């Protein structure tokens, strides 16, 4: 059994957008009193939003990856590589496929989710995605082949998908690249989505989001199909549940997600494998387990004709990581402050070639009583592209330096966009922005 010689250990499963910032925040709070351990099946940290550019061949994968062993040595973290198979919450043990048994005092699950490609026949075989490094590299290889013989392009999302931003970015960046190469007239582009309208992105009634996004689609000559359920793919065709079919020489279809297999195997998830959590990010049934990011269960309040999930943007994931670290430190008696909950106020910078759109929702989930947000809006311009590039460089810089969510980042989000990432928890059991439910 892998044990620590220090007072105790906080173990984090996953070293991505949630796991690594959580580790840095915990290290800052806990100092030398507790060992902070990162466990992941990948030796690299990957900046997931950058995979869209990788899929289109605009940047190499190495530009958005960092070596976890190097980062861990530099910042006093313990690094373990392994694939989790089972968690025993009673004994506080994590078992890996490689035979490791790792004890913990507190556990943070930031493993992300599994891609449910099996729910749409042919999706795994004939559709591409940019959800992980392996898929992005495969998408790039196929994209280069497509450019040699361009035909029809279909981009979209499967029923139950929750994060639509990457689909819009891939769609409009692909359109822009085809224009730059003088190939656009040869390609019919279709966007197929379960969203009720263009620009919904899993978040209803963001001011001007529909207007700006629909106008851009019309201007670029892209056919759009909403309230659509993709039922299957073959090598050259995308089929809908209503019987319509669309020819496609290249398909980029975002799948729906389900929770990690080990979460289900350990009895910690709902029927889809997502972690039911309290507003503090603590597991609903296990007080030593916290959930962060795509692995957690969030309600989609907008009941649409075709089911969609709830988006969990990178900023939302970071806020969850910060809150989980803070609350663990509070429970350990290291810091003496109130427990916190993430506000789930978010901004998404979407790059579309010669322009971009920023989507802001504060919060993402409207108040369940009033149905209102503090505010929401969408804004368009080339500045969005510059902001996204700057944020990517900044994020990788702070990961190298061992910073989670520093005070100046929180201040900048507050001053520039009016966003606040966390607030004192209203109740350990309920909150307007996070209510445990059975659907995701």
Residue in 348, 378, 403, 421 annotated catalytic: 348
- Count CB-CB contacts under 10 A for residue 188: 17
Q: For residue 424, what are its two tokens?
A: 């004192």
262 touches 274 (CB < 8 A): no
Which two structure tokens, joined as six digits, stand for 209?
């989001």
Omega into 363 within 30° of 0, i.e. cis? yes
For the CA atoms of 311, 314, 318, 324, the dihedral, rounded to the nearest 10 degrees, stands at: 30
The phi and psi torsions of 108 (rounded to 5 degrees) equal: -115, 120
- Residue whose tokens read 């309040």: 301
Rounded (5°) CA angle 113-39-18? 50
Q: Judge whether 131 counts as a catalytic residue.
A: no
Count of positions (residues) in the chain: 440
- Is residue 349 a contact partner of residue 387, using CB atoms and an 8 Å limit? yes
Catalytic residue among 36, 108, 163, 298: 163
Q: Is 163 a catalytic residue?
A: yes
Token pair in block for residue 252: 């980029």
Q: Is there a contact between 93 and 102 (Cβ–Cβ < 8 Å)?
A: yes
Q: Measuring CA to CA, which residue among 352, 358, 363, 355 is closest to residue 310?
A: 363
In degrees, rounded to 5, the angle at the alpha carbon of residue 339 between the alpha carbons of residues 329 and 38 is: 35
Q: Are 240 and 228 in contact (CB under 8 A)?
A: yes
Q: Please name the residue that has the structure tokens 């806020």.
A: 319
Closest to 330 in 3D by CA, of 286, 294, 382, 290:
290
Burial class of residue 181 (count of CB atoms within 10 Å of its CB; 0-12, 13-18, 19+)? exposed
Q: What is the distance between the alpha carbons of residues 302 and 212, in angstroms, rounded to a whole number?
A: 21
User: Which active-site residues does the annotation give?
Assistant: 163, 348
């Amino acid at each position: 059994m892998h044990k620590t010689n220090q007072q105790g250990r906080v173990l984090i499963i996953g070293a991505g957008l949630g796991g690594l910032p959580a580790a840095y925040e915990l290290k800052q709070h806990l100092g030398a009193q507790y060992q902070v351990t990162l466990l992941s099946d990948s030796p690299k940290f990957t900046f997931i939003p950058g995979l869209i550019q990788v899929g289109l061949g605009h940047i190499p994968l190495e530009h958005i990856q960092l070596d976890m062993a190097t980062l861990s040595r530099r910042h006093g973290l313990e690094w373990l590589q392994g694939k989790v198979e089972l968690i025993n919450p009673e004994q506080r043990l994590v078992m890996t496929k490689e035979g490791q048994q790792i004890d913990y005092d507190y556990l943070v699950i930031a493993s992300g989710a599994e891609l449910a490609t099996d729910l749409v026949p042919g999706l795994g075989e004939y559709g591409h995605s940019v959800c992980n490094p392996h898929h992005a590299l495969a998408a790039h290889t196929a994209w280069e082949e497509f450019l040699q013989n361009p035909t029809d392009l279909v981009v979209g999302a499967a029923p139950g998908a929750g994060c639509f931003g990457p689909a819009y970015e891939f769609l409009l960046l692909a359109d822009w690249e085809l224009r730059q190469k003088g190939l656009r007239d040869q390609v019919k582009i279709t966007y197929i989505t379960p969203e009720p309208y263009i620009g919904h992105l899993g978040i209803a009634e963001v001011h001007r989001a529909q207007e700006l996004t629909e106008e851009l689609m019309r201007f670029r000559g892209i056919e759009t199909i909403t309230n659509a359920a993709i039922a299957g793919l073959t090598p050259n065709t995308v089929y809908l549940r209503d019987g319509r079919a669309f020819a496609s020489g290249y398909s980029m279809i975002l799948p729906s997600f389900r929770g990690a297999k080990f979460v289900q195997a350990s009895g910690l998830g709902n029927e889809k494998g997502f972690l039911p959590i309290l507003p503090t990010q603590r597991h609903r049934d296990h007080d030593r387990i916290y959930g962060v990011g795509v692995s957690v269960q969030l309600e989609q309040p907008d009941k649409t004709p075709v089911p969609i999930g709830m988006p969990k943007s990178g900023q939302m994931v970071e806020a969850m990581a910060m809150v989980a670290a803070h609350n663990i430190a509070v429970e350990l008696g290291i810091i003496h402050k109130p427990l916190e909950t993430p506000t789930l106020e978010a901004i998404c910078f979407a790059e579309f070639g010669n322009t971009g759109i920023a989507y802001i929702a504060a919060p993402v989930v409207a108040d369940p009583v009033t149905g209102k947000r503090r505010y929401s809006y969408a804004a368009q311009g080339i500045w969005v592209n510059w902001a996204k590039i700057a944020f990517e460089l900044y994020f990788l810089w702070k990961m190298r330096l061992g910073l989670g969510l520093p005070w100046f980042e929180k201040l900048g989000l507050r001053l520039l966009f009016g966003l606040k990432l966390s607030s004192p928890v209203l109740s350990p059991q309920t909150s307007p922005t996070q209510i445990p439910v059975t659907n995701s």
